[in-house]
Chain A
Amino acid sequence: MTIAGMSVIEILEGQGRGEFTPEEALQAHLDKIEGEDVGAFLRLCPKTSSGPGLLQGVPVALGDEICMEGVETTAGSRILTGFVPPYQAALVGKLQGAGAALVGKTNLTEFGMSFDMDDAVFQRTQNPWRPGTNPGGAAGGAAAAVAAGQAAAAVAADTGGDVRIPASFCGLVGFVPTYGRVSRYGVIQHAPSLTQVGLLARQVGDIALLLEVLAGEDPQDATTLPGTLSDLLAQAVEPKPLRIGIAPDIYRSFAGGDVCQAAANVWQRAAEELGWELVEVDLPWLELAQIARRLIAAAESSSTLARYDGVRYGYRAEDAQDMRELFSRTRAEGFGEVVKGEMLLGTYILGDKAHYEAYYLQALRARSVVSKSLQDLWGEVDFVLTPTTPELPGKRQAPPEIFTGPSNLAGLPAISLPCGLVDGLPVGVQLVAPAGEEGRLLRAAHVLERMIGFASSRNGGGQGA
């Protein structure tokens, strides 16, 4: 077995058995980047393992929205061209402290504001499963890097499905923890209230390990949760059969039949083979949640991205005659169309009292409704299972974040697992859990993963389901 393509745990075990060194592990992944250009990385900054730790010698890729001291960081936007942060994200320090080898910065759609990787500004990223195919976004570069064996795992921001959608398209495990579980300090965001630091890897076990390293309260991020997480997969068995909430009819109204069938296969097998109990639930607010999430993201981004004005750093329009021209031309030239559109929308809905009440306040109300409804569901079910995406990459019939967005709206942990191939391309199922229940979620996902038996390697040709 070649090193590139191994899971995090396989790399750790391989090193443990003395089969290869951290340097060799990193080199193998760098060779893979050289050998197979899927456009995953915006820039490489290979740093060998900084010492012993839980992730010693594990090559990890970072989305380019994550600040690394001394390394140009653009969040996929021209407006941050040339910006080299003199500080780094809290999570970078944790990864380095755990001995991870940071490979480079991966491509994303501008500020992560589109789920369609074809909207990326700097370069096109290919889905390693089928060159020419969209890997999904916003963290398309991170997913492509892991799927192509150019990194064992990746970390990227998830504001509505940015990590889970490309995980689903690229046959990987994509995960978001409870809002506030991992510090957002140093992660460039457009909609802070929705942003969870997401993880991408080949296996649930890898995710658990990464989460143990990254979780924890950070005085620099007021929204972080107290406490740390450890031994996530080692804990007790569930005393009762798990109850899984499903809403097949609602899924069918948004998702293609093949995608729905793949998800249904999973829950039917879980009922038969694992004895899990299926509970039909109502998720009548999916579309409302999608609209609310978009409006909130737009409003927050109109404010959060306003600082990019050319005065202090990043792109600056040349020869501006006065302040207004400097601001407007810098922003007109520096931002792409998608970001401009969302910021205009956000400015409009916050733009006067009537708009604020009609749109922004309504979106906040919808957010409460969704959170409350999910809160109520946890009395009946342990997790909700949905398809991760409504359709295969490249079809643009439904909002790609229709199933993933609600967990961001409610700040809940969620995981996408690859569950099979449709037309030769991977599809995923998503489990959403109550806040704070990452351990239970990962253990359930671990069981499901073994049941599905999806081989994450493209070359393995596995079609588990």
Chain B
Amino acid sequence: MHDFEAVIGLEIHVELSTDSKIFCSCPTAFGAEVNTQCCPICLGLPGTLPAINRKALEYTVKAGLALNCQIARHTWFDRKNYFYPDLPKAYQVSQQDAPLCFDGYLEVPVGEGAKRVGINRVHLEEEVGKSLHAGETIIDAAYSLLDYNRAGIPLIEIVTEPDIRSAEEAQVFLERLRNILRYIDISDCKMQEGSLRCDANISLRPKGSTEFGTKTEIKNLNSFRAVRRALEYEINRQAGLLRDGRPVEPETRHWDEQKGVTIAMRSKRQASYYRCFADPDLVPIDLSDEWIGQIEGELPELPGARRRRFIDEYGLPEYDAQVLTSSKEMADFFEEVVQGYNDPKTVSNWIMTEILRYVNEQGEEAEGIPLTATGLVELLQLIEGGVINRNQAKEIVLPEMVAAGKSPRQIVKEKGLEQISDTSQLEGIVASVLEANPDVVQDYLGGKDKVMGFLVGQVLKATKGKANPRLVNEMIREKLKR
């Protein structure tokens, strides 16, 4: 591989989270009973006409702005014609010649630095229905079942320039992209529900060459991990061919997650031509600077800007800022907690170590943070106030907060965890510990500070860990004043 360079471009489809479909008022919710979210319009019944959902245009423009794109001032929809049963009109309303957004980029970290991956275009189109084949493909299936609930959900296609150079870069790009799309709240970007899908185009060329090699397109990539693994596999496969002096066939390949291989599906030698032309049922759209400006004004702070602000405003290290802003939920959570507990670094430590553990356990498609900001604020206050110690917080209270959704105070009460911070309750215990350990006391008085830990530990042991260690420490010092 070291003598070749990979050239990768991605095509990402993202379902927009508008309430209704792109050309009718059907709902877009995932998981409804089959064929219950469709109407004469999204079924393309004879004589029906589309009417554009302005929200879908707005969301697409948002995506374009967040990806540093130019926004078209005059645009229109084209019909992309092909026959397939899940395509009710036998054409997909899409944008061929005038994408809403074009010429953008997304900055991704690479090694120590960062690079810009060009965004060729972001265009708006309609989603197709879903087919379920009783067989391998539609041609050899005994029958196929069709669900048109999905048909007509607004979909954006994001096409990158072939600027990505490794499987890892592709994965990082996708993570960044998903983060941004979630920040601007235009899609839930769930790969397992298909609301974010990715196809990858890849070719190899000798290092130093500027020409493009023959590319293959990989489909059926259902997770970021799959994108990375499939690209790694395909890079090795193509490198093997080229080293043996054999040609790479221009083809579409299917990623088999189980076997961990890409399989040839169909040749790309005969390019399909979709007979695109402007859809006469939809009028061309003129976007005003004012409208675009308004959307731009409403864009939330994007991850990059937020990362820099976290460093400046909260004095966080770069690493913390990076991790915390890697999802909008996490960054929002952090800021909310800091509002109630003004010690950003402590909050950051808690999130990055303890909370993230729970988030990561949920895997790539994390549903979010499994507790409330007020809950964490309360927990930190309980520690600070000496009601519980750090270990109790981590090992007993936090798991219960996540599992049962209870407030930390309630958990502390139910489990009887309150620290003993009342000196009168501790007096007797401290006295008896000192009495029982005269040698150690002598060591301390002789200047061995280290033994303090042992004495405090004995008091904790006697109180089953409930004594406030800081208080015990003070009491012993007071008693053994040198």
A459 to B58, CA, bound (A): 62
Interface size on A, residues (CB 8 A): 47
Nearest Cβ in chain B — how far from A359, in angstroms? 11
Contacts A/B (CB < 8 Å), 9 sampled: A86-B40, A186-B47, A299-B277, A303-B275, A306-B81, A307-B46, A323-B85, A351-B273, A351-B275
Does B52 interact with chain A (Cβ within 8 Å)?
Answer: yes
What 0/1 pattern do residues 30 to 68 of A give for CB contact below 8 A with B? 000000000000000000000000000000000001110
User: Which chain A residue has the least Cβ–Cβ distance from B131?
Assistant: A323
Contact in complex: B85, A309 (CB < 8 Å)? yes
What 0/1 pattern do residues 363 to 389 of B give for CB contact below 8 A with A? 000000000000000000000000000
Chain B residues contacting A350 (CB-CB under 8 Å) are 81, 275-277
Interface size on B, residues (CB 8 A): 32
Contact in complex: A307, B88 (CB < 8 Å)? yes
From 78 to 124 in chain B, residues with beta carbon under 8 angstroms from any chain A beta carbon are 79, 81, 83, 85, 88-91
**Given contacts A192-B281, A222-B51, A312 and B43 within 8 Å (CB-CB):** yes
Does A302 interact with chain B (Cβ within 8 Å)?
Answer: yes
User: Which chain A residue has the least Cβ–Cβ distance from B52?
Assistant: A222
What 0/1 pattern do residues 289 to 314 of B give for CB contact below 8 A with A? 00000000000000000000000000
Does B315 interact with chain A (Cβ within 8 Å)?
Answer: no
> Could you say which of A67, A312, A327 contacts B47, with CB atoms under 8 Å apart?
A67
Does B436 interact with chain A (Cβ within 8 Å)?
Answer: no
Does B260 interact with chain A (Cβ within 8 Å)?
Answer: no
Does B32 interact with chain A (Cβ within 8 Å)?
Answer: no
Chain B residues contacting A201 (CB-CB under 8 Å) are none
Does B34 interact with chain A (Cβ within 8 Å)?
Answer: no
Does A188 interact with chain B (Cβ within 8 Å)?
Answer: yes
**Given contacts A306-B81, A307-B90, A188 and B283 within 8 Å (CB-CB):** no
Contact in complex: B90, A323 (CB < 8 Å)? no
Does A352 interact with chain B (Cβ within 8 Å)?
Answer: yes
Contact in complex: B46, A80 (CB < 8 Å)? yes
**Given contacts A306-B90, A307-B90, A309-B90, A85 and B47 within 8 Å (CB-CB):** yes
**Given contacts A87-B48, A184-B49, A309-B83, A223 and B90 within 8 Å (CB-CB):** no
Does B138 interact with chain A (Cβ within 8 Å)?
Answer: yes
> Could you say which of B40, B47, B139, B282 contacts A188, with CB atoms under 8 Å apart?
B47
Contact in complex: A303, B91 (CB < 8 Å)? yes
Most chain B CB neighbours (cut-off 10 Å) among A303, A312, A351: A303
With A186-B47, A360-B277 already in contact, 10 other A-B pairs whose C-beta atoms are closer than 8 Å: A66-B47, A67-B46, A75-B46, A80-B46, A189-B47, A222-B49, A307-B46, A312-B43, A322-B139, A356-B277
Chain A residues contacting B281 (CB-CB under 8 Å) are 192, 222-223
Does A96 interact with chain B (Cβ within 8 Å)?
Answer: no
Chain B residues contacting A309 (CB-CB under 8 Å) are 83, 85, 90
User: Which chain B residue has the least Cβ–Cβ distance from A326?
Assistant: B85
Does B264 interact with chain A (Cβ within 8 Å)?
Answer: no
Does A18 interact with chain B (Cβ within 8 Å)?
Answer: no
**Given contacts A187-B47, A352-B273, A87 and B40 within 8 Å (CB-CB):** yes
A187 to B281, CA, bound (A): 12
Chain A residues contacting B43 (CB-CB under 8 Å) are 312
Does A300 interact with chain B (Cβ within 8 Å)?
Answer: yes
A351 to B275, CA, bound (A): 5
